[in-house]
Amino acid sequence: MRSLVFRNAAVPDRLRCLLPRSSAKVRAQPPRLPEWEEFPSLVPETLHEMSEDEELTQLHADVIARGQLALTEKEDTIRREMLDRLGVASFAATCAEAGVTPLRRAPASILQLNIGLYCNQACRHCHVESSPKRTEMMSHEVARRCIELLDSSSTVETLDLTGGAPELCPEFAYLVKEATARGVQVIDRCNLTVLVEPGQEGLAGFLAENKVRVVASLPCYSKENVDSQRGGGVFARSIRGLQLLNEVGYGVPGSGLTLDLVYNPGGVFLAPPSSSLECAYKDELKEAYGITFNSLLCLNNMPIKRWSDELVRMGKLDEYMELLVGAFNPAAAEGLMCRATVSIGWSGEIYDCDFNQQLGLAVSGPARTVFDLGSLDELNDNRIVVASHCWGCTAGNGSGCQGGLDA
């Protein structure tokens, strides 16, 4: 298997921004950040950028006109034809041949809820196709049913809330409080900019009060890279969001409040091991902005949705798929998140993972929604539904919601 060891001496140009400070020739002055009151909502800026981006506008129109499922089928056909041309066996066959434990569900330890597709950002790699134009949100009825499933299921320890921007869903606070009251650890998958959106002034304090673990996206510590991947104005707001989290104790040793950051590549390459980037992130963020955090999770970009579209546009989908397949790691396949996670969509459908959810690939077995289940235990031992996108989870260090193998 291809060696994925990542050393500074061999860092490609696209990752130069992630070198430790001592490697940089000249250190630019960190930009002055506006105070909270100076940040207007990011939504108008995101909508403006979307309106200027013909591809995103067209994509949104296609999603509305043809539905996610039709687009997903087209995407899967392109990937499968490409893998056939490369002579690659199916993902399931490759796992079996490598002696990986059969791809069947274990008792769930994580219940992940995608509680809404609305987001104040519209990132270029978003696998959920989120933006301020998406209005789908989890209802209270579905949220309450998910809490009932927490009560009836014997093994779930974590409630993982994602979106869109989950904090902007009206059910967010209800879910956090109910799960916390039951001794279940809550994870908030936070885009950071939401912390400075008007109306979210109490969010950092609320998260701290409920000891929510915050897992936040920050694909680089340079403004240029973050803004080009996630949209203009995102970097400054993300930095202020991190400072607000630090102010209430997140990422501060001894506070018991965990703040993890997520890196994902900004190009056609795999995420390096987190151990090779974490120090650089910590040094840069501490020195430039006084920010501290706990751990860095490094994730690959999945070859689906906006990232897949971008690869097709660049003519690089085959290169990326070849990269993923060539870096297949049986150890990562053993630890796939779909083995012990149940993923629920905003309207209550059940999936093996958030990626399958966005592709409309329902779990195997008769249950389709949370209202068909008496307990999550009923899903135990079901066959996991895998397809051509799954190579993204087993490349290199692997890539799941909890990070790669070395996270």
Per CB under 6 A, the list member of 72, 94, 114, 121 interacting with ligand SF4 is 121
Separation CA 335–CA 295 (nearest Å):
19
Binding of ligand SF4 by 384 (CB under 6 A)? yes
Binding of ligand SF4 by 156 (CB under 6 A)? no
Binding of ligand SF4 by 388 (CB under 6 A)? no
Binding of ligand SF4 by 352 (CB under 6 A)? yes
Separation CA 347–CA 137 (nearest Å):
8
Interface positions, 225-284, toward ligand SF4 (CB under 6 A)? 230
CA distances for 213 relative to 167, 168, 260, angstroms: 13, 17, 8
User: Sign of torsion, CA 102 104 107 108?
Assistant: positive
Three-state SS at 346: coil
Three-state SS at 156: coil
The string of DSSP letters for 240-251 reads HHHHHHHHTTTT
Separation CA 327–CA 269 (nearest Å):
11
Contacts of 401 (CB under 8 A, 6+ apart): 110, 112, 160, 189, 215, 337, 341, 354
Task: Report strand pairing: 295-298 vs 259-263.
Answer: parallel
Interface positions, 88-107, toward ligand SF4 (CB under 6 A)? none
Residue (274 or 399) nearer to ligand SF4, CB = 399
Binding of ligand SF4 by 126 (CB under 6 A)? yes
CA distances for 346 relative to 70, 137, 162, 166, 204, angstroms: 19, 6, 10, 10, 24
The minimum distance between CB 340 and ligand SF4, in angstroms, equals 10
The minimum distance between CB 369 and ligand SF4, in angstroms, equals 19
Residue (92 or 252) nearer to ligand SF4, CB = 92
Per CB under 6 A, the list member of 207, 390, 395, 407 interacting with ligand SF4 is 390
Separation CA 303–CA 201 (nearest Å):
36
Residue (11 or 342) nearer to ligand SF4, CB = 342
Q: Which range binds ligand SF4 by CB under 6 A, 52-60, 117-125, 148-156, 236-244?
A: 117-125
Binding of ligand SF4 by 328 (CB under 6 A)? no
Q: Which range binds ligand SF4 by CB under 6 A, 6-14, 80-88, 206-214, 335-343?
A: 335-343
Residue type, 118: Y
Task: Report strand pairing: 341-344 vs 350-351.
Answer: antiparallel
The minimum distance between CB 130 and ligand SF4, in angstroms, equals 4
The minimum distance between CB 131 and ligand SF4, in angstroms, equals 6
Q: Which range binds ligand SF4 by CB under 6 A, 124-132, 246-254, 285-293, 362-370?
A: 124-132
The minimum distance between CB 382 and ligand SF4, in angstroms, equals 12
Site string (29-68) toward ligand SF4, x via CB under 6 A: ----------------------------------------
Binding of ligand SF4 by 161 (CB under 6 A)? no
Structure tokens at 260: 């993890």
Residue (163 or 404) nearer to ligand SF4, CB = 163
Contacts of 234 (CB under 8 A, 6+ apart): 42, 121, 193, 226, 227
Residue (78 or 147) nearer to ligand SF4, CB = 78
Q: Which range binds ligand SF4 by CB under 6 A, 54-62, 120-128, 153-161, 367-375?
A: 120-128
- The residue count for binding ligand SF4 (CB under 6 A) is 24
CA distances for 282 relative to 11, 18, 241, angstroms: 18, 11, 16
Contacts of 18 (CB under 8 A, 6+ apart): 11, 220, 221, 277, 280, 281
Residue (56 or 257) nearer to ligand SF4, CB = 56
Q: Which range binds ligand SF4 by CB under 6 A, 173-181, 277-285, 314-322, 388-396?
A: 388-396
Where on the chain is the footprint of ligand SF4 (CB under 6 A)?
Answer: 119, 121-123, 126, 128, 130, 163-165, 191, 230, 336-338, 352-353, 355-356, 384, 386, 389-390, 393
